[in-house]
Amino acid sequence: MRVSVVVLSLAVACSVTPALAVAAAPSTAKVCTQLKDPSLPSASYLSSVSGIKSKGNQWTVLATGVDCTTAISAAGKLLPRWKTAALGATLPWPGYTCFKMTDSTYAGTGASSGGFICHQGSGRATSVFQAKTFAVRETYPYSVAQVKAFFGIR
């Protein structure tokens, strides 16, 4: 019951429907950390997949079947590349296929990016929760606890 209230509260705060708030994250999905530093790039976007609307420079590192140490280390090195890459562009990283994700702008019109996704091997990931995948998404003002509740991550 308490988790349902948290998820519903986050859904309202994100301006999405409760049905979208209960995204299907596998049991192996983890929120590794949030990177918070004024020197990090900022993003402003509306995710058409999750409905999250975010604007800031607080980056959440998510991993599914990838060690958090690996994902966090890569995040710090890939964020500067993400900042200057074109939407959908490949972000080279050894052993992974990474690309700059395409989202809507914060206003919901046009295109923007709220982060990137990396999949181990040669194929592009189709979900931030795909096996052997890590993603780095801008998630201000949401806390780790709120992100976990939103996606049903334990």
Is residue 62 situated within a structural domain?
yes
% of the chain with per-residue pLDDT over 90: 76
Is residue 100 situated within a structural domain?
yes
Q: What is the pLDDT of residues 62-104, one digit of tens each?
A: 999 999 999 999 999 999 999 999 999 999 999 999 999 999 9
Is residue 20 situated within a structural domain?
no
Q: What is the pLDDT of residues 46-64, one digit of tens each?
A: 998 888 899 999 999 999 9
24: pLDDT confidence band, cut at 50, 70 and 90? low
Is residue 154 situated within a structural domain?
no
Residue 52 lies in domain = 26-142
Q: Taking the model in full, what pTM does it have?
A: 0.83
Is residue 17 situated within a structural domain?
no
Is residue 72 situated within a structural domain?
yes
Is residue 15 situated within a structural domain?
no
Give me the number of domains the chain comprises: 1
Tell me, letter by letter, the H, E, C secondary structure of the chain: CHHHHHHHHHHHHCCCCHHHHCCCCCCCEEEEEEEECCCCCCEEEECCCCCCEEEECEEEEEEECCCHHHHHHHHHHHHHHHHHCCCCCECCECCEEEEECCEECCCCCCEECCEEEEEECCCCCCCCCCCCEEEEEECCCCCHHHHHHHHCCC
Is residue 84 situated within a structural domain?
yes
